[in-house]
């Protein structure tokens, strides 16, 4: 059997593209009512009065819930989920009311008729590195040390042959999955059912049960299909709590709540802007002696999220002197959260552009400079890497991309009015297999069924988990039915941290193996086995990461500054690849999102009002087909016996890591203009 590795098409693919997949908002569940949130129009203050009468008399409006009428929640520990509990306004766009009506149009009209006055306070929403109120968070996401130090970076910088000291900035970014955050909620017979667009039915159930003080068995979360999430659906946001609250206020009626695209810009998380003060010191022959990175970023005043931006600088290259710090400003802004490769994605921009700057200072090829600084062991822990094939990725990428014929001089290749250049950057993402996920494999009616409370956010879980089961059972993959996306199935970890396939797949593989070992090739009807992922003891002995190398070609118009990226090529070493088709899609998707980050995406913040001004897809630019030309993803056949028995490392996020730096480095090679602030727009290169 060779089910693993086969490029099977996605089992949910046809349903999704033909419109027959039932998304959360579309769940048929009786005669629904519809909700529309009312949002605060000041960035900081207190509601003085809220006028709901006009909305309440509107034909079709059933209810206007405000802090006056909302149920008192059992737990307000998570300030993002503690909706409508008091008069305080912590950011513009925070929910201050919820209109429930017979149609979505009436709900929306009603929401427009709700009017609040405020005791407004001066707001403060502007991130800068010289604020005097920056603070040191206890940990950075999810539980890493905030600061690290080894040796003496200051002394090493003072005595280095060559140094680079620069400040880099990544923009604020908003996740924009095609399907907005949406829920159908039903409170019936003291059970709350949420059909919710989520990356984790079990984590979502836990969070919501806590907020409402319900035992977990009285909350069910169902989510067979998700139209993208990228991290923004990894944890429930305010919209889910609102839908649940409205359902409890209207028992027996399914309640529907979908955020509008504009509401997603204040209510569904975002990637904090980062300011990265980077220091590199090196010997003349290109050995790093010092790596320093001091990161400044923002969080909201009501709930802390500390993006782990400096993490990759701790382990990427060998240097005896290293120092990383994170400092936060707590501002009157919406709550930041996960976005594809939190930490690694912004955290490989500054450092990988700095490596390019260092390569130019030294007159050493940027591929070679990285190879010269390959560490023997994880610089942070001193442990060996379970597998590390960064050098092979760089060499293979250079070969495929045609790097060797590159003339390093910047700004000298003019073709038909376009300046042409190429750039490289490294890529990394940690590999993890989460403990506590359970799968059940059962033989029934002549077929096998796999059940696990996982979520497929569009990444391929519907398809790859049966491949893994087929391999373990030694049966054709067509004989396996997959069941996921429901808390009725066993507990499983969130689809996040690129750990889905490694985690759920490990449980599925072991359960299937157990069934096969116990009952042989011909099990009795109803025979079943389960398995739960445990702690991997090898994690204490090895550093576990996937690596990659990203190559980009940039063309910048000499007169207009228009920037095009005709070629992107990535080579990854990411463990065993379970499905060549879905894996390639993940790499390409990540790289495309990285291209989008490099050239297009930016949530433009207006500190006067404390809001994102380009809060729609007309003005928040995401790379479209015309922006994406030749994107290639390749990978090495990597066997890692330590990460988990399957050898799966995780691939959902590494594609975005390093891409923006490769593009920035290519733009420098094309033009001679070193752009240190994302996105790279034409005004910056001219
Ligand atoms: Mo990813 S940001 O861990 O969904």
Q: What angle do CA 153, 157, 161 make, to 5 degrees?
A: 140
Cα distances (Å, whole numbers) of residue 11 to 14, 20, 47, 225, 501: 7, 13, 49, 11, 16
Those residues of the chain that have pLDDT short of 70 are 1
Nearest ligand 1 atom, CA 340: 2
The catalytic residue among 297, 344, 553, 653 is: 653
Mutate to test the pocket of ligand 1, among 234, 272, 307 (most ligand atoms within 8 A of CB): 234
Q: Rounded to the nearest whole angstrom, what is the distance from the C-alpha of residue 48 to the centroid of ligand 1?
A: 39
Q: Write the class of the CATH domain 30-42+44-122+176-267.
A: alpha beta
DSSP state string for 461-508: HHHHHHHHHHHHHTS-GGGEEEE-SBTTSPP---S-TT-HHHHHHHHH
The pLDDT of residue 1: 60
CA distance 622 to 600: 6
Nearest ligand 1 atom, CA 339: 2
Q: What angle do CA 54, 60, 62 make, to 5 degrees?
A: 75
CA distance 320 to 69: 60
ipTM of this predicted structure: 0.97
Output 301-304 pairs: Cβ under 8 A, ≥24 positions apart.
301/90, 301/91, 301/330, 301/331, 301/332, 301/333, 302/79, 302/80, 302/90, 302/91, 302/335, 303/78, 303/79, 303/80, 303/335, 304/137, 304/328, 304/330
Q: Rounded to the nearest whole angstrom, what is the distance from the C-alpha of residue 616 to the centroid of ligand 1?
A: 22
E strands within 274-409?
Answer: 274-282, 288-300, 321-331
Element (H, E) at 311: helix 311-315
What is residue 644's three-state secondary structure?
coil
Structure tokens at 33: 């009512």
Cα distances (Å, whole numbers) of residue 650 to 503, 570, 611, 622, 662: 9, 16, 35, 25, 22
Q: Rounded to the nearest whole angstrom, what is the distance from the C-alpha of residue 670 to the centroid of ligand 1?
A: 33
Residue 102: closest CA among 66, 65, 59: 59
The label of the residue with tokens 């042409």 reads 420
Nearest ligand 1 atom, CA 496: 3
Nearest ligand 1 atom, CA 229: 4
Q: What is the CA radius of gyration of the chain?
A: 26
The residue whose C-alpha atom lies closest to atom 4 belonging to ligand 1 is: 231
- Domain 30-42+44-122+176-267 and domain 139-173+271-432+541-685, same fold? Reply is yes
CA distance 631 to 521: 44
What's the CATH number for 435-535? 3.30.365.10
Q: Where does ligand 1 bind, in terms of residues with CB under 6 Å?
A: 199, 230-231, 234, 338-340, 342, 496-497, 653
CA distance 319 to 373: 8
CA distance 222 to 186: 12
Q: Rounded to the nearest whole angstrom, what is the distance from the C-alpha of residue 436 to the centroid of ligand 1?
A: 19
Mutate to test the pocket of ligand 1, among 344, 496, 502 (most ligand atoms within 8 A of CB): 496
Report residue 240: phi and psi, to 5°: -70, -40
CA distance 115 to 130: 38
Catalytic residue check, 56: no
The pLDDT of residue 2: 75
672 Ramachandran zone, left/alpha/beta (phi>0; psi -120 to 50): left
DSSP state string for 25-48: GG---SS-EEEEEEE-SSSSEEEE
Q: Rounded to the nearest whole angstrom, what is the distance from the C-alpha of residue 233 to the centroid of ligand 1?
A: 9
Structure tokens at 170: 């990544």
CA distance 259 to 371: 47
What is residue 260's three-state secondary structure?
coil
Mutate to test the pocket of ligand 1, among 497, 586, 655 (most ligand atoms within 8 A of CB): 497
Element (H, E) at 220: strand 219-222
Could you tell me whether strands 219-222 and 255-258 are parallel, antiparallel, or unpaired per DSSP bridges? Answer: unpaired
CA distance 193 to 91: 30
First to last CA, the chain: 57
- Please name the CATH architecture into which domain 139-173+271-432+541-685 falls: 2-Layer Sandwich (3.30)
CA distance 221 to 205: 6
Mutate to test the pocket of ligand 1, among 309, 338, 589 (most ligand atoms within 8 A of CB): 338
Report residue 162: phi and psi, to 5°: -135, 140
Q: Rounded to the nearest whole angstrom, what is the distance from the C-alpha of residue 342 to the centroid of ligand 1?
A: 7
Domain ranges within the chain, ordered by starting residue? 30-42+44-122+176-267, 139-173+271-432+541-685, 435-535
CA distance 290 to 288: 6
Q: Rounded to the nearest whole angstrom, what is the distance from the C-alpha of residue 115 to the centroid of ligand 1?
A: 37
Q: Give the number of C-alpha atoms closer than 13 A to the C-alpha of residue 480, restricted to the C-beta side.
A: 28
Element (H, E) at 554: strand 545-557
For CA atoms 24, 223, 175, 237, the dihedral sign is positive
Q: What is the dihedral of CA 118, 87, 606, 135, to 10 degrees?
A: 130
- Do residues 286 and 368 lie in contact, with contact meaning Cβ atoms separated by under 8 Å? yes
Sheet of 255-258: strand order equals 61-65, 95-101, 33-39, 255-258, 182-188, 191-196, 219-222
- Do residues 410 and 670 lie in contact, with contact meaning Cβ atoms separated by under 8 Å? yes
- Do residues 486 and 224 lie in contact, with contact meaning Cβ atoms separated by under 8 Å? yes
CA distance 341 to 231: 8
């Amino acid at each position: 059997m060779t089910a693993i590795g086969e490029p099977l098409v996605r089992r949910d693919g046809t349903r999704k593209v033909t419109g027959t997949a039932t998304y959360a908002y579309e769940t048929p569940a009786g005669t629904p009512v519809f909700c529309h949130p009312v949002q605060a129009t000041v960035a900081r203050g207190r509601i003085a009065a809220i006028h709901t009468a006009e909305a309440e008399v509107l034909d079709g409006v059933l209810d206007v819930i405000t802090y006056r009428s909302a149920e008192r929640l059992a737990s307000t520990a998570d300030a993002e989920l503690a909706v409508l509990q008091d008069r305080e306004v912590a950011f513009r766009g925070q929910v201050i009311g919820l209109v429930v009506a017979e149609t979505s149009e009436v709900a929306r009209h009603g929401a427009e008729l709700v009017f609040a006055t405020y005791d407004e306070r001066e707001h403060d929403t502007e991130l800068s590195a010289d604020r005097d109120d920056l603070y040191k968070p206890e940990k950075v996401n999810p539980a890493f040390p905030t600061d690290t130090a080894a040796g003496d970076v200051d002394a090493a910088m003072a005595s280095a042959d060559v140094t680079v000291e620069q400040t880099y900035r990544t923009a604020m970014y908003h996740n924009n999955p095609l399907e907005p955050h949406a829920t159908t909620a039903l409170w019936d017979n003291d059970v709350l059912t949420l059909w919710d667009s989520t990356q984790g039915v079990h984590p979502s159930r836990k969070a919501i049960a806590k907020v409402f003080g319900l035992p977990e068995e009285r909350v069910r979360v169902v989510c067979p299909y998700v139209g993208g999430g990228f991290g923004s659906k990894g944890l429930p946001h305010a919209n889910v709590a609102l839908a649940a609250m409205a359902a409890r206020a209207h028992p027996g009626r399914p309640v529907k709540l979908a955020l509008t695209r504009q509401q997603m810009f204040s209510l569904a998380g975002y990637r904090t802007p980062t300011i990265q003060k980077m220091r590199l010191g090196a010997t003349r022959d290109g050995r790093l002696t010092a790596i320093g990175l001091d990161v400044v970023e923002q969080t909201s005043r009501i709930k802390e999220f500390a993006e782990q931006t400096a993490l990759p600088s701790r382990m990427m290259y060998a240097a005896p002197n290293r120092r990383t710090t994170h400092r936060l400003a707590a501002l009157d802004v919406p709550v930041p959260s996960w976005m594809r490769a939190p930490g690694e994605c912004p955290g490989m921009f500054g450092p990988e552009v700095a490596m390019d700057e260092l390569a130019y200072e030294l007159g050493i090829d940027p591929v070679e400079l990285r190879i010269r600084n390959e560490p023997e062991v994880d610089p942070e822990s001193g442990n060996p890497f379970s597998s590390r094939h960064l050098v092979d990725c760089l060499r293979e990428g250079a070969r495929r991309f045609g790097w060797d014929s590159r003339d390093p001089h910047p700004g000298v290749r003019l073709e038909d009015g376009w300046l042409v250049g190429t750039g490289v950057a490294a890529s990394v993402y940690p590999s993890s297999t989460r403990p506590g996920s359970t799968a059940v494999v059962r033989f029934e009616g002549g077929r096998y069924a796999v059940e696990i409370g996982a979520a497929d956010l569009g990444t391929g879980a519907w398809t790859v988990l049966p491949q893994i089961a087929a391999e373990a059972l030694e049966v054709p993959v067509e004989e396996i039915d997959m069941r996921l996306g429901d808390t009725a199935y066993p507990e499983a970890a969130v689809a996040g941290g690129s750990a889905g396939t490694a985690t759920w797949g490990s449980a599925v593989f072991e359960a299937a193996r157990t069934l096969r070992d116990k009952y042989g090739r011909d099990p009795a009807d109803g025979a079943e086995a389960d398995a739960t992922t445990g702690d991997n003891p090898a994690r204490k002995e090895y550093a576990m990461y996937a690596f990659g190398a990203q190559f980009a070609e940039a063309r910048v118009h000499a007169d207009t500054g228009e920037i095009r990226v005709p070629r992107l090529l990535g080579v990854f070493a990411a463990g065993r690849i379970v499905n060549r088709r879905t894996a390639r899609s993940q790499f390409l998707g990540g790289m495309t999102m990285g291209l989008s980050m490099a050239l297009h995406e930016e949530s433009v913040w207006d500190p006067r009002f404390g809001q994102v001004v380009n809060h729609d897809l007309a003005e928040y630019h995401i790379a479209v087909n015309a922006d994406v030309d030749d994107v290639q993803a390749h990978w090495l056949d990597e066997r890692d016996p330590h990460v988990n028995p399957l050898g799966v490392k995780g691939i959902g996020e590494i594609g975005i890591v390093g891409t923006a730096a490769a593009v920035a480095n290519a733009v420098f090679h094309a033009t001679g203009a070193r752009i240190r602030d994302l996105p790279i727009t034409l005004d910056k290169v001219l």
